[in-house]
Amino acid sequence: MQLVVSQLLPAYFDESVTQVSEIWGKEWAVEKNDLIKIVAPSGSGKSSLINFLYGLRTDYTGMISYSGKDLSHFSPEQLAGYRKDHISIVFQDMRLFADETAALNLEIKRQLNPYHPPEKIKEMAERLGIDSRLSFKCSTCSYGEQQRIAIIRSLLQPFDILLLDEPFSHLDNNNSEKAMQLILEETRARNASIIYADLERSEIFPYTRIYHL
């Protein structure tokens, strides 16, 4: 697998941003075991980039290709396969089923392509300190708890690339570190890469490459 990004620029951005950005309008690729940090101030298109890479939006110029195939030409079925087997994500806005329990939210993702057995959910929840919240509806959980549920959900499937969009914005340092530890363990176990996008430079993520959006 290889994710190659070429001359990418949101359709609604001015060409001039390519002069200051290390991402927009440039050539770059994600290799195995890469830990890429993207520092992106507000309004620089951080979430747009994450959505483009995940195949949620195609309103851009340039090209994103995965294993040599243009992502914007993926059929709905190919996109489903891409998200099920090759790429995982922690959204900035979590995107959980608010009226369902945390356990059901996690099981829905786990059963799609079971990388871990069902017991692993409990084990991960214990590590992140939310095991007591598993039987509660997500709408009753705090943002911090919801963020940890979203992190565990992203680790229940096989992946080559893990996209993290401000994954610790609602967590304190202690919980962020615990979560980062778990993420790194799971990523290493898969020989996968991480693209970590955040507003500012933080030392919690041991990146191998850093880009400024």
Residue ranges binding other proteins (CB under 8 A):
56, 76-77, 79-85, 95, 97, 100, 104, 107-109, 111-114, 157
Residue 157: CB minimum distance to other proteins, A: 7
Asked if 197 and 173 touch (Cβ cutoff 8 Å), the reply is no
Residue 106: CB minimum distance to other proteins, A: 10
- At 128 the three-state DSSP class reads coil
Residue 206: CB minimum distance to other proteins, A: 28
Nearer to other proteins (CB atom), residue 8 or residue 87 = 87
Asked if 131 and 102 touch (Cβ cutoff 8 Å), the reply is no
Both tokens of residue 71?
């992502």
- At 172 the three-state DSSP class reads coil
Closest CA to 23 of 2, 1, 44: 44
**Ramachandran angles phi, psi of 176, nearest 5°:** -65, -45
Nearer to other proteins (CB atom), residue 43 or residue 117 = 117
Nearer to other proteins (CB atom), residue 37 or residue 110 = 110
H or E segment and range at residue 36: strand 35-39
Residue 116: CB minimum distance to other proteins, A: 13
Nearer to other proteins (CB atom), residue 39 or residue 121 = 121
